[in-house]
Amino acid sequence: MTDNPIGGLTRSVKSALLDTMRKSSDKAPRTAAAAPQGKGRDLSFESLPAYQQLKTSRAMADALKINFPFYRPHDIKAGAQSVIAGKRVVNFASYDYLGLNGHPEITKAVTEAAATWGTSVSASRITAGERGFHRELERAIADVYEAEDSLVFVSGHATAISTIAALMGPKDLILHDSLIHNCVVVGAQACGATRRSFPHNDLDALHEILLTTRDRFDRVLIVTEGLFSMDGDGPDLAKLVDLKERFECWLMVDEAHSLGILGKTGRGLFEMEGVDPKRVDIWLGTLSKTLVSCGGYIAGKRSLVDYLKLAAPGMVYSVGMPAPAAIASLTALQIMNREPERVSRLQANGKLFLDKAREAGLDVGDSWGYAVTPVILGDSLRTVLLAERLLARGYNAFPIVPPGVPEQSARLRFFISSEHTTEEIEGAVAATKEELEKLQKEGVSFATMAKLMKARLTS
């Protein structure tokens, strides 16, 4: 019998998938009767539900003969191009928005910093880890936001958690955009404050929540992103600051994907929208995107920074940032300020990708067309297969599936760089359209596969 495709999947693949589902079902943890304390308990990590889901996902990837897309090794430095398994690809999965990773000036500065200061400050900054380069970087970041001061942490994720944990408590309320980054959610959970989300960029809904709840809490913190990392859009900052001032709240804006991207000179959301940055209480950001290093920062009033130096767990109980990391970010920021043409080139590339994607009929959601634009498919299986086929054609775009995004909103996420060429961008869009049309004609979807497998299992 020939191996003809049925519903987009060959008989052999369907057979392998069915076998995978049966094995997964057989190995699924059973609910056991209550055991005496200390006896008969399954303490294996393999019994964790998420581990079982991971095994099933890997087995399904094997059955579909696609590579598992997570933790895929790259053979060269991150940037607009990469090498995966020995093959050069156009890379749309890198945060190197301004093409500064590996810049000779930064590499030279980092080498000199390591020779002078070593590779670790070997203590928390509050004890013996404070060095002059910390304050030099913090002054440069504060200048971006016209702030009184700033503070850098060794982890971007921990920056948000530590700051929120230090500022908020059980009598307080945290209101955040429904698509906010995980670091804000974890920080809110850690501090014990009441947490509520408002629909994405829906400031009318936020207004209604404030009307009905503000007076029930001591402090209220509103949190949003300057440029959302999964959707490539952002909020109306002027309206946000009006709301926070009217209802006497703090406002935190996460600029992780905004610095170096938005505004004429890349200073972020406030520059793009013409809002006084001092009207925002807390500017949050990371050093791992435009500033090509590792860590995070907070910028705002000096009293905020002084307080966090004594109260933020990720500052007090963590080692200080090493010199190479701090000097890398400081030098990158200096180059960004000196060469605004990099920002202009990035913005032009982002607009080109967005325009071409829309012309091709691809669903890009509400992306502004700067550094981040998604191509939304909805179906998780089709998204992963599209990413695999694009990689085979020399384009690396990472598939994002639930729980990374809401259900039915799986997508490929394209990070745009100032160093991408017109030909690379146009080629990626054309290839995406062609391969997506093929998948649609083949009828490949997770829903179709799941329905088929369920029917087979119950027959």
**What does each of the 459 residues of the chain score in pLDDT, given as a tens digit?**
334 333 444 555 445 444 544 454 444 444 444 545 666 888 899 889 888 877 877 777 777 677 777 888 998 899 999 999 999 999 999 999 999 999 999 999 999 999 999 999 999 999 999 999 999 999 999 999 999 999 999 999 999 999 999 999 999 999 999 999 999 999 999 999 999 999 999 999 999 999 999 999 999 999 999 999 999 999 999 999 999 999 999 999 999 999 999 999 999 999 999 999 999 999 999 999 999 999 999 999 999 999 999 999 999 999 999 999 999 999 999 999 999 999 999 999 999 999 999 999 999 999 999 999 999 999 988 999 999 999 999 999 999 988 888 888 999 999 999 999 999 999 999 999 999 999 999 887 766 665 555 555 555
Give SS3 for 370.
coil
The first and second tokens of residue 386, run together, are: 């599209």
pLDDT value of residue 240: 98
Q: What is the DSSP string of 192-247?
A: T-EEEEE-TT-HHHHHHHHHHHGGG-S-EEEEEESS-TTT-----HHHHHHHHHHT
* Cross-strand bridge partners of residue 317: none
pLDDT value of residue 62: 75
Contact 401, 329 (CB under 8 A): no
Task: Return the CATH fold of 81-91+340-450.
Answer: Aspartate Aminotransferase, domain 1 (3.90.1150)
pLDDT value of residue 167: 98
Domain extents in the chain? 81-91+340-450, 104-338
pLDDT, tens digit (0-9, with 9 covering 90-100), for 397-410? 999 988 888 888 99
pLDDT value of residue 423: 98
pLDDT value of residue 404: 81
Does the fold of domain 104-338 match that of domain 81-91+340-450?
no
Contacts of 300 (CB under 8 A, 6+ apart): 145, 147, 148, 149, 150, 280, 281, 282, 283
The pTM for the full model equals 0.89
pLDDT value of residue 165: 95
pLDDT value of residue 37: 62
> CB count, 10 Å around CB of 187?
29
pLDDT value of residue 6: 35
The first and second tokens of residue 257, run together, are: 């994907």
Task: Return the CATH fold of 104-338.
Answer: Aspartate Aminotransferase; domain 2 (3.40.640)
Measured distance CA(89)–CA(166) in Å, rounded: 43
Contacts of 242 (CB under 8 A, 6+ apart): none
